[in-house]
């Protein structure tokens, strides 16, 4: 009888075959660029964020520049991403903290990253995994939450619990990639309202939890 780990590895293998080049859909040049883009992506499409970040970085190319910016000016640039007041406030405050506490460099540990305003475990995991190649955990967003539940890999809707459930099922070097795979798969196949179960790559591995 296959174990939960065996099934999870089979899922990983199939998604790896489907998506041979896993990477964030957000455009970025470095860790700071990815952090900014991920903060802006909350409740916003990646496509929209990818339109906004070039404008933002053209105006404030460095962390130091953004730390010195007027928050109202940042709001005007990020307005179209939604929740723009909080996002602008957090980005300026994060830039200021990085300059004051981390010598102008984005920190490379989970404990340090989550002290930055607007940065929780999901964002920290994305930055660590995709910008630094460090797997400290698994980023859990709405796609990961939905698909992990439907696949029977978790029974929780809490991101912290889901991450804790998933980490033993995938090898540490797989942690960043499984996030990318589930995000891609959630957008293309296992959508929230109308999942394309017919012809799904994972149909024989999926108990379809929560689906009729």
Selection from 84, 86, 105 nearest residue 95 by Cα: 105
Share of the chain above pLDDT 90, in %: 96
Q: How many helices (H) and strands (E) does the chain have?
A: 11, 0
> Do 145 and 102 share a structural domain?
no
64 is catalytic: no
Confirm whether 210 is domain-assigned: no
> Do 116 and 193 share a structural domain?
no
The one catalytic residue among 87, 92, 122, 165: 122
**Gap between the Cα atoms of 162 and 144, Å rounded:** 9
The one catalytic residue among 141, 158, 194, 204: 141
Provide the 10 A C-beta neighbour count for residue 157: 11
Query: Could you give the number of structural domains in the chain?
Result: 2
Q: For residues 161-185, give the mean pLDDT.
A: 97
Q: 51-110, pLDDT tens digit by residue? A: 999 999 999 999 999 999 999 999 999 999 999 999 999 999 999 999 999 999 999 999
Pick the last residue of a domain from 100, 131, 162: 131
> Tokens in use for 134?
């460090």
pTM exceeds 0.85 = yes
> Do 70 and 50 share a structural domain?
yes
Confirm whether 211 is domain-assigned: no
158 is catalytic: no
> Do 100 and 36 share a structural domain?
yes
**Gap between the Cα atoms of 35 and 131, Å rounded:** 9
Domain that holds residue 186: 4-22+138-205
């Amino acid at each position: 009888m296959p174990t939960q780990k065996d099934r999870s590895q089979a899922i990983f293998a199939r998604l790896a075959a489907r998506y041979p080049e896993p990477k964030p859909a957000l455009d970025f040049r470095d860790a700071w660029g990815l952090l900014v883009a991920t903060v802006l992506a909350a409740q916003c499409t990646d496509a929209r964020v990818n339109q906004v970040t070039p404008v933002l970085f053209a105006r404030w190319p460095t962390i130091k520049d953004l730390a010195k910016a007027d928050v109202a000016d940042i709001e005007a640039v990020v307005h179209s991403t939604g929740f723009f007041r909080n996002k602008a406030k957090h980005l300026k405050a994060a830039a200021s903290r990085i300059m004051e506490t981390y010598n102008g460099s984005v920190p490379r540990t989970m404990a340090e990253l989550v002290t930055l305003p607007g940065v929780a475990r999901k964002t920290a995991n994305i930055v660590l995994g995709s910008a630094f190649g460090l797997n400290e955990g698994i980023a859990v967003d709405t796609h990961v939450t939905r698909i992990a539940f439907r696949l029977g890999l978790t029974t929780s809707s809490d991101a912290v619990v889901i991450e804790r459930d998933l980490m033993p099922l995938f090898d540490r070097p797989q942690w960043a990639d499984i996030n990318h795979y589930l995000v891609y798969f959630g957008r293309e196949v296992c959508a929230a309202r109308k999942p394309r179960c017919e012809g799904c790559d994972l149909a024989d591995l999926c108990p379809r939890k929560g689906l009729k």
